[in-house]
Amino acid sequence: MPRRYWLMKSEPNRFSIDDLRAAPQGIAPWDGARNYQARNLLRDRVKAGDGVLFYHSGTATPGIAGIAEVVRAGYPDHTAWEANGEQFDPKSTPARPVWYMVDVRFVEKFRQLIPLAKLKTTPGLEGMEVARRGSRLSVQPVSRSEWEIVRRIARNMDPG
DNA sequence: GCCAACGTTGGC
DNA sequence: GCCAACGTTGGC
């Protein structure tokens, strides 16, 4: 089966690419999605081995911070069961989980973040979901060509 | 702080 | 089932 590619958003105040790198073995769950479209992707489509563009949102300059890899496909998001947690959702139970998460592993931090504004003006990326106005989905499919273009930008932005 | 986009909730 | 009100995301 061909490898798929995804863009996953994270607010770096909460969990940044540096936090992912610092996690044991560079592996951490990507959890907390509470949207059914995102849930369906996490549960049904995101597989181990898939590539991830790690996106920082909610910052002065949002953009792609680096690369990660999915190491565990969708499984129930147990943070929804933690009654005092921020991500608690009484609709979800261990017997009938509603929300799903995946595990990702740190691969690479770009030496310079690729700003959203840059994505929007890059030929070949105009159609990227994240470049759309009002794009809110926290996990988004990325095409192979979009993936390649982003990686090329990252290489070109790296001095030397 | 503002506002666009859009998902969710709840009255009917 | 419709739709207005409301809440959240997230860029600017």
**Sequence-separated (6 or more) residues with CB below 8 Å from residue A134:** none
- The Å distance, CA of A138 to C1' of C9, is 9
Say yes or no to pLDDT of A2 above 70.
Answer: no
Q: Which nucleotide is nearest to A138 (CA to C1')?
A: C9
Q: Cα(A123)–Cα(A151) distance, rounded to whole angstroms?
A: 14
* Residue-level pLDDT at A131: 93
Q: How many domains does chain A have?
A: 1
Q: What angle do CA A119, A8, A137 make, to 5 degrees?
A: 85
Q: Which nucleotide is nearest to A58 (CA to C1')?
A: C10
pLDDT tens, residue by residue, A17-72: 999 999 999 999 999 899 999 999 999 999 999 999 999 999 999 999 999 999 99
- The Å distance, CA of A33 to C1' of B11, is 29
Two tokens at A32? 């907390």
pLDDT tens, residue by residue, A88-120: 888 888 888 889 999 999 999 999 999 999 999
Q: Do residues A4 and A146 make contact, with C-beta atoms less than 8 angstroms apart? A: no
pLDDT tens, residue by residue, A133-148: 889 999 999 999 999 9
Residue A110 belongs to domain spanning: 5-157
Say yes or no to pLDDT of A160 above 60.
Answer: no
Q: Cα(A77)–Cα(A147) distance, rounded to whole angstroms?
A: 27
Strand residue runs (E) in chain A: 5-10, 27-30, 51-56, 63-76, 100-115, 139-142
Instruction: Read off the CATH number of the domain in which A88 is found.
Output: 3.10.590.10
Q: Cα(A13)–Cα(A59) distance, rounded to whole angstroms?
A: 9
- The Å distance, CA of A62 to C1' of B5, is 18
Looking only at the bridges linking them, the beta strands covering A51-56 and A5-10 are parallel
Q: Which DSSP symbol is given to A159?
A: -
- Strand C: residues with CB below 7 A: A 9, 11, 34, 57-59, 62, 116-117, 120, 135-138
Q: Cα(A70)–Cα(A51) distance, rounded to whole angstroms?
A: 6
For strand B, give the nucleotides within 7 A of a protein CB. Answer: 4-8
